[in-house]
Structure formats: C-alpha cells, structure tokens
C-alpha cells in the first residue's frame, strides 16, 4: 500500500492549505531547511497537535524529508513529498505514488487539478509511514549529472600543443628528468591522496609484481632510497609501459612535494618518536594529512627502536613537539591484546589488491 504521495512541480504551501484541518495537522517542511531549522520550527508544532488529529508531513524537497526522518525517527503519521521524480532514483516504488505528474521530457509545469473532496479521500487511503517507508526515504537519492565541463577541460589539458610536443612526449625519458610533457602538464596528483595515487600505479602492473612496486614507492616515501635508486628500480617497468612510466613519475612528484609527501613524512616521524606522549588525533590534526595515508606508511615500517635510529637527525626538532595526551583518546585493543592510543597498522594486503 502507498505510504508516500509525491507531487511534481507543486507548492507544499498550496497542498498544506488543502489538508482537512479537522482530521489532519499538516507539518510544512521548507525545501532548504536544515536539521537545526527542523528542530526549531517543527518540534513546537508537533507538541501542539490536538489529540485525535493525524500528523501530515508536507515536504518541500527530498532533502528536507530525509532530515525530518532522521530527526524524528519515531514519527507516526502520513507523508507527502513535493519534488521532481525524474531526479529521484528510484522514483518508482510500491510505497511511493506520484500524483498529477507528467513524466515526459522536462515534466509539466502545472497546478493541482484535484478537488478538495477528492484530495481528502486520497489522504484517507494513504497508509501511515512505517519503518519500511522510512527506509525508502533514506535510500532515495538525487541523480547527479556528470561534470562534463571539467571532463572536457581535463582532456584539453592532456593534449599536446603541437605535433612536436607529441613527439617529444613519446620520446621523453621521464625517469631521469622532469622535462616530459606529462610531468609539466599533468597536475592530477595534487588532488589525490597517497592511497589513490598508489592505486593508479598498481593498476598498470600484474598482481604478482604489485607488492614489489609498492615496496619501492614506500621506501622512497620513507627516505630509505634516493631518487636515483627509485628510478633505477622502476626502470624495467617503465621501459615496458609508457603509461606506467607516467604514473610512476607522478608518484615521485607527489612524494617530493612539500604539501604532500614531505608533510606525510613529517607526520610519520611525529608518530614514530612521540608515540607515548602525543595522541593519534593530535598527530593527524597538527599535520593535516590523510589518516589512511599515514596508516599505509606505518604499515610498511612500524614503530621500533631500530626504526627510530634511522632518523636520528630528522627527529631532533620533532621530539620537541608539545605533548598532548590529556584527555587521552579512547584506547583501542591491538591483536596482541595490548591497548594503545594509536590504531594498529593494518596489513598492506588488506589495503591493496596483491
């Protein structure tokens, strides 16, 4: 049975005025209301509903209706939704019935043609909202069109400016210098996390070789190898695939960048030498790095006295960072049974498809 009436291109205020006030208490939800607006405007109205009248939600948008369902999970009443069915997926469901709606191209800008008596009869046949209906409302999503403009701009940025640039791009040795077309033009790595850019690289090698590639990248991130060693160890894969050469070079640029790889390395050193006096949240907040990126680096090289000795020079200033364990974070239990203020490093095989 129907639990939600949908009205396309109709004003919720107009529908509210059609509600029989002797039987129903309409609750108007403005399309742009936030959770705070709902609490401020709807709560007093719900508390003042006369006994015997049925609460009837008249929502101006799917967003407002979702917020209402989340804010009032125990609501017992009936629901009407004013929205465009072409933007809701799925808009066809046994619990949802669209009234006076044209599903043709662009819909129909029209006014409600129902008479007052007919509208009152329809409300009488509408079922009360239950848990299944609430689940449907929370599952419905607006369809988002693809950002074609950005796609075209990104495609245009990747095009060589001339035939000579195309030839230079194909002949460029991206392992020895940053003079290739890709390195100069492709800035996509600036918008990605370490995990995302690692996934891009591993996608272009066979599964059996992925762990080896991951070790090379993380060794470079942890300053265990130089740029020359990184290029040398990657050279065989770069010679075999031009697209892998591009991806591997972009990873190296990400690690070399002060706002990406270098910042992540500093956050790792903070964790390494201040693990007993600075909480996990403090390390993340002070460095503003991606949590999963830091966990990936720690998974490659966990904290130990031997590890700390590798960075004796780099951690001198970091040891002076102010302690912050008051109040401490909620402790987490490690697989060994011990508690720690820091999460246990996950296995790299769980983060990447080896």
pLDDT for res 128 = 93
Segment-wise mean pLDDT, segments of 10 residues, the chain, 354 residues? 80 80 88 80 86 89 87 89 66 77 47 70 90 87 62 69 60 43 65 88 84 91 89 81 84 88 90 85 85 90 80 81 73 76 81 72
| Count of CB atoms situated within 10 Å of the CB of 292 | 13
Alpha helix ranges (H) inside 258-338:
261-273, 280-287, 291-300, 305-309
pLDDT for res 297 = 92
The 3-state DSSP class for residue 227 equals: helix
Q: Which helix (H) or strand (E) element contains residue 255?
A: helix 242-256
Q: What torsion, rounded to 10 degrees, do the Cα atoms 274, 276, 281, 286 define?
A: -20
For 97, 102, 202, 209, 227, the CA distances from 219, given in Å and listed in that order, are 59, 60, 15, 16, 10
Q: Are strands 88-89 and 24-29 parallel, antiparallel or unpaired?
A: unpaired
pLDDT for res 218 = 92
The domain limits of the chain are 4-142, 149-256, 261-351
Residue linked to tokens 């799917």: 62
Distance between CA 180 and CA 200 in Å, rounded?
19
- CB 331, CB 232: distance < 8 Å: no
Residue linked to tokens 């090698």: 205
The answer to whether the pTM exceeds 0.85 is no
Distance between CA 263 and CA 169 in Å, rounded?
30
**E strand spans, 73-164:** 78-82, 88-89, 96-99, 141-142
């Amino acid at each position: 049975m129907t639990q939600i009436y949908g009205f396309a291109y109709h004003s919720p205020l107009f529908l509210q005025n059609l509600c029989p006030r002797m039987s129903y208490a309409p609750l108007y939800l403005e399309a742009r209301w936030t959770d705070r607006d709902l609490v401020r405007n709807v709560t007093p109205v719900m508390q003042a509903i006369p006994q015997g009248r049925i609460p009837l939600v008249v929502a101006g948008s799917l967003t407002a209706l979702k917020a209402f369902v989340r804010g009032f999970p125990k609501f017992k009443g009936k629901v009407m939704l004013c929205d465009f069915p072409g933007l809701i997926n799925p808009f066809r469901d046994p619990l949802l019935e669209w009234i006076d709606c044209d599903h043709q191209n662009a819909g129909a800008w029209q006014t409600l043609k129902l008479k007052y008596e007919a509208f009152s009869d329809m409300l009488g046949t509408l079922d009360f909202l239950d848990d299944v209906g609430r689940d449907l409302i929370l599952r419905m999503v607006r369809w988002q069109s693809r950002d074609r403009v950005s796609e075209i701009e990104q495609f245009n940025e990747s095009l060589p400016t001339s035939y000579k640039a195309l030839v230079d791009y194909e002949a460029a040795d991206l392992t020895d210098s940053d003079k290739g077309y890709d390195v100069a033009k492709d800035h996509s790595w600036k918008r990605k996390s370490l995990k995302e850019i690692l996934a891009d690289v591993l996608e272009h090698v066979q599964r059996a070789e992925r762990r080896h590639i991951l070790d090379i990248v993380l060794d470079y991130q942890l300053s265990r190898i130089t740029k020359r060693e990184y290029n040398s160890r990657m050279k065989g894969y770069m010679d075999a695939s031009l697209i892998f050469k591009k991806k591997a070079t972009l990873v190296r640029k990400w690690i070399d960048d002060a706002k990406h790889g270098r910042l992540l390395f500093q956050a790792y050193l903070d964790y390494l030498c201040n693990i007993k006096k600075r909480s996990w949240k403090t390390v993340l907040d002070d460095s503003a790095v991606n949590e999963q990126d830091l966990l990936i680096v720690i998974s490659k090289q966990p904290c130990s006295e031997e590890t700390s000795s590798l960075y004796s020079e780099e951690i001198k200033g970091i040891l002076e960072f102010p302690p912050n364990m008051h109040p401490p974070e909620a402790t987490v239990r490690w697989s060994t049974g011990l508690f720690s203020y820091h999460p246990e490093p996950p296995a790299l095989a769980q983060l990447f498809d080896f």
